[in-house]
Structures are given as C-alpha cells and as structure tokens.
Amino acid sequence: MPAPWERWVHASNFGEIWFFEPKAGELWRGTFGARALTSSLPPSFGPGFRDEGPDGTPERYSKRRKELTLYGPYPLAAIRIKRFKRRAYRSKRFALPPGPAARFVLAKDP
C-alpha cells in the first residue's frame, strides 16, 4: 500500500513518482496502477469483478492496494526539469493548490 507521502507525490506529479538510486546515480520513474486480486470463485462473478485473470479465474481490483510499475533506470544526464502551471486538485486525503510546479521529463537529446 502506498504511504501517504507517496500518494501526495504521485498526485502532485499527476501520476508519476521518481525514485533515486544513489549508488548507481540513476532515476527510476514509477506509476501506481490498479492492483488485481484473483479469486477462486466460480465464473458467476459478483459485485466488484471486472475481468478474468490469465488463468481464467475471476479478477477484481483492490480499493486500497496499488501496483507500482517502475521504468528505467535513467541516467541523470537523460533527465530535464520542466516547469508548468499546476491546476488545483482535491482528494479525500489532501488538496493541492494551483500554482507553479516542476516535474522530471526525459530529455530528447541526452
């Protein structure tokens, strides 16, 4: 389950969270997605079921747990900082005001 600070960073970066690997001096880009929960229930399904898993068993998605997917690693020379204006955002846990913000982006020419 993502920690509260991870959820805040993820929301303030509009769906991305970056991790720094100090030993290698590289960055990893991460995103949180839906976490599938498989069940041994028969295919009559029920509330909350969306699809079937790879083995044909019913699959539903967790409301609390998230799947972290990492992309990379990226050397620091391949990353740039892009400034932008953030729109206001509100969730059950926190609110982000509108204003200037910055995010990491991949450089076109490292």
For 28-60, the pLDDT digits (tens) are 999 887 777 665 555 555 555 555 555 665 567
Nearest-CA neighbor of 26 among 104, 99, 87, 108? 104
For 80-100, the pLDDT digits (tens) are 999 989 889 888 888 889 999
For residue 29, CA distances in Å to 32, 49, 94 come to 11, 30, 23
Higher pLDDT, 39 or 16: 16
Q: Provide the pLDDT confidence category of residue 77 given band limits of 50, 70 and 90.
A: very high
pLDDT for the residue numbered 50: 52
